[in-house]
Chains A and B, each alone.
Chain A
Amino acid sequence: MILEPQFIAEQFLNSLQFSMLLFLLAIGLSVIFGLMDYLNLAHGTIYMLAAYLAYSLAQMGGNFWVALVFAPLAAAAIGMALYLLLLRRAERATHLVQVLLTVGVIYAGTDILRMIYGDLPLGLSQPAALSSPVNVFGVSYPSFRLFIIFLGLLIMGVLYFALERTRLGALVRAGVDDRETAETLGVNIGMVFMAVFAIGTYLAGLAGVIAAPIFGVYPGMDVSIIILVLVVVVVGGLGSLKGAIVGSLLIGFADTFGKLLLPQFAMIIIYMVMAAVLVFRPSGLLPARQFNG
């Protein structure tokens, strides 16, 4: 095990990059649950869908950038259609009914993608413009991964601004804090829900496209990431941007360094982190409010 500063720096950057991916998925899931009280396990399916769509766009002659622009939009549109046609019906139902519904969507969605694309893993090439490594902290680091880090930070900034400075952001924060009161004050909570769902699924789609060149495109990629995303949401706390940021950083680093130091027990480390957080803060580190489940 090499403890050279270069190696550590590289792993530090890897952790950061993975955290960004987790963040993009976690923020959508967290705010959707915090605001709408909707346990949408099919969030990962949108992520997977966008990756497959990106693959198709690339196959049709486009490149990564085309995919980056259009695939998340397409995935978000499909996600919105899913919401309006199907998911919205269980909005007032118990979490369990939502679990049943969204698990049904996962099963059906996975099979539909498998029917179209087959079972084998597919690939998406990294953009040519970002194929040469860059020197960071004395480390020669792939520029695509750096791009992911910057994109993630950019989105964090945009979301922060949107939540704190825009009207929609204020409505979202009010709705997360106390939905009933917001409604009685005349907030069209239905519109806010749709906006949040649209943005959340768009970010999930974005995550799918940028993950594709690194992790590949394969059936079951939704499941393999959603577990970690759930841990991020639990650890970070529901409904808050800060919570999603802190949670994704914590888990991103725990996962990367865990796999490095104790590969057999990487998952166990993550769950110990989660257990430790829950002992002291049963609602997560920075929840938007104290949730009663």
Chain B
Amino acid sequence: MTPGKLRFLLGAAIMICALAAQLASGTFAQELFADAAIMAVFALSLDFLARCGLVSFGHAGFLGLGAYAFGGFSVLMGFSPFVSLIGGVLAGVIAGVVIGVFAIRTTGAFFIMVTLAAAEMFYAFVFRSPLFNGADGMAGVMRFDLAATGFDINDPKIFATFCILICAAVWLLLEFVMSTPYGRTLDAISQNANRVAAIGGRVFYYRLSAFVGSGAIGALAGVLKAQHTNFLSPDIASWFVSGDVLIMVIIGGLGTLVGGILGAGILVFLKEILSTHFGHWNLFLGIIFIAVALIVPNGLIGSLVERLRMREQSAARDAAAGQTAEQGKAEP
């Protein structure tokens, strides 16, 4: 079992289980599954960025931007949901370029702070913006029209299935991209950016393109979120959301991609369970975060992957030593 196969199996298992479970449960659970799937897409966008060594603490900005752009195009300007989706994703792309050009000059902790600040900027804007009703939020956001296919998108079951399928598609797309030379270079940059520069790679452009792609997917998640709640609220871009999605990714395992999906599912359902049973459930959430940070710092799937990798490596080293020994015997 290689780490790669494990990740695929886990991902497939999660998708299939989620699909089956939501079909078999009631409306409320179906809404949760939809929420989890949307957050999973969001987490995937963040984890993709993390693969090139950049961790953003402001990704909720993209989520909010996608949602508000979708709302703006569809509700305020009357475009069809599909066109508005394109508009939302494009907004994410443009923001990715504009913010990335400044933010990518910084690294590490500074990048964390800059992205946080950028998201806060967006939050502050929509909080006060009369265009979108500010803090009161804007209602009337419509979902896609799937009438042509015979499915009613407003049926929670259908919408949840739709979101899970999109999550699966995004996941497979990102896994593919990471298997290409571009993805390999991103991985290398996260390990040793200086060496990538020394072997001829323009690190800035790799990172910028990853940031833009990540922003586009984050905006896509925002579009879905707006459709899910049929409502726009500034809270979608608050730093709590940025923190939440970061934690989803860390809990699952930074860089594993499928870890983000698992983390999203865990956090969405955990919050629901905790909040229905306890008044001050942030306390328990905080304790869980602390526990995960101290006990499985590589994340749940991350730790598994790490262990498999090490086992794979000792096997490879034994094989190599065997080979060299063979060659030694063969030579006179």
Contact = CB atoms under 8 A, between A and B. Distances in A.
Interface of A: 33, 39, 86, 89-90, 93-101, 103-112, 114-115, 223, 227, 230-231, 233-234, 264-268, 270-271, 274-275, 278-279, 282-284, 291-293
Interface string B111-150: 1111011101100110010000000000000000000000
A39 B109 contact: yes
Nearest to A98: B293
B205 to A, nearest CB: 17
A108 B286 contact: yes
Contacts of B282: 107-108, 110-111
Given A96-B55, A96-B250, A282-B105, A274 B286 contact: no
B219 interface: no
Given A97-B297, A282-B105, 10 more contacts: A39-B109, A39-B112, A86-B290, A93-B297, A227-B239, A231-B113, A264-B128, A278-B102, A279-B102, A283-B110
Contacts of A115: 280, 283
A230 B117 contact: yes
A293 B290 contact: no
A188 to B, nearest CB: 25
Given A99-B57, A227-B239, A293-B109, A111 B283 contact: yes
B283 A223 contact: no
Contacts of A39: 109, 112
A142 to B, nearest CB: 28
B158 interface: no
A39 B288 CA distance: 19
A114 to B, nearest CB: 6
Interface string B283-295: 1011111101110
Given A39-B109, A107-B285, A275 B125 contact: no
The binding surface of chain B is classed by DSSP as: helix
Nearest to A103: B243
Contact of A109 (B102, B110, B254, B286): B286
Contact of B121 (A105, A106, A268, A284): A268
A268 B103 CA distance: 16
B262 interface: no
Contacts of B323: none
Given A90-B294, A100-B289, A278-B105, A227 B120 contact: yes
B289 A103 contact: yes
A159 B117 CA distance: 28
Contacts of B121: 267-268, 271
A108 B292 CA distance: 14
A104 B290 contact: yes
22 contacts: A39-B112, A90-B294, A96-B250, A96-B254, A97-B250, A97-B297, A100-B293, A101-B289, A103-B289, A104-B285, A107-B282, A111-B282, A230-B117, A234-B113, A264-B128, A267-B121, A275-B102, A278-B103, A278-B105, A278-B106, A291-B110, A293-B110
Contacts of A275: 102
Given A101-B294, A111-B282, A233 B289 contact: no
